[in-house]
Amino acid sequence: MSKNLMTEICKNLNVELGEEFKVDIYGDRIFKITESGVWEKKSDDDGYIWEEQLVVLRELLIGDVEIVKLPWKPEFEDSYYTFNLAQGKWVVCIGWWEKEPHCYALFDKGWIYRTRAEAEAALPAVAAEMGVQYEL
């Protein structure tokens, strides 16, 4: 039996095994790669199911399509980094994901980051867009 190559394929495509993503020519359809192939998220009466998509796997492997990364969204009580006001300047701070309106508002604005480094890299542009002072 030969080795499963899906982990290496994910690395080459710059996605994690099981990470949800879109594909440039397929609009809002959501896909993921697992050890057993490429799957598309489909709605059904009970919520969602995953259908295998061999055509999309082939298109990814031969380079006919490109992956469009989705913004990272934390799970309940996961930590994340965002911005806050401290002594009149915007700074990077840590938060914990809750099912609260402010969490969804930050997510919709694109101000939820997996790491402090990602938030610090984004802060100068966000501060310029908002017309505020910031401190790293």
Burial of 84 (0-12, 13-18, 19+ CB in 10 A): exposed
Q: Which residues contact 3 (CB under 8 A, 6 or more apart)?
A: none
Is the same domain home to 65 and 90? no
* Residue-range definition of the domain harbouring residue 35: 6-69
Is the same domain home to 32 and 64? yes
Is the same domain home to 12 and 31? yes
Is the same domain home to 89 and 60? no
Q: Which residues contact 136 (CB under 8 A, 6 or more apart)?
A: 91, 92, 120, 123
Q: What ranges make up the beta strands (E) of the chain?
A: 20-23, 31-34, 37-44, 47-52, 67-69, 79-86, 89-96
Q: Is residue 18 part of a domain?
A: yes
Q: Is residue 104 part of a domain?
A: yes
Q: How far is CA 104 from the centre of its chain?
A: 14
Nearest to 65 by CA among 19, 104, 31: 31
Is the same domain home to 52 and 103? no
pLDDT at residue 1 in the model: 65
Is the same domain home to 89 and 53? no
Predicted TM-score (pTM) of this structure: 0.66
Q: Is residue 89 part of a domain?
A: yes
Copy the structure tokens of residue 38.
């490429």
**Which domain-ending residue is among 23, 39, 69?**
69
Is the same domain home to 65 and 84? no
pLDDT at residue 45 in the model: 79
Q: Is residue 74 part of a domain?
A: no
The DSSP output letter for 113 is B
Q: Is residue 1 part of a domain?
A: no
Is the same domain home to 49 and 95? no
- Tell me the C-alpha distance between 52 and 38, whole Å: 6
- Tell me the C-alpha distance between 81 and 91, whole Å: 10
Q: What's the domain count of the chain? A: 2
| Parts of the chain with a pLDDT under 50 | none
Is the same domain home to 93 and 113? yes
- Tell me the C-alpha distance between 12 and 78, whole Å: 28
Q: Is residue 136 part of a domain?
A: no
**Which domain-ending residue is among 69, 89, 108?**
69
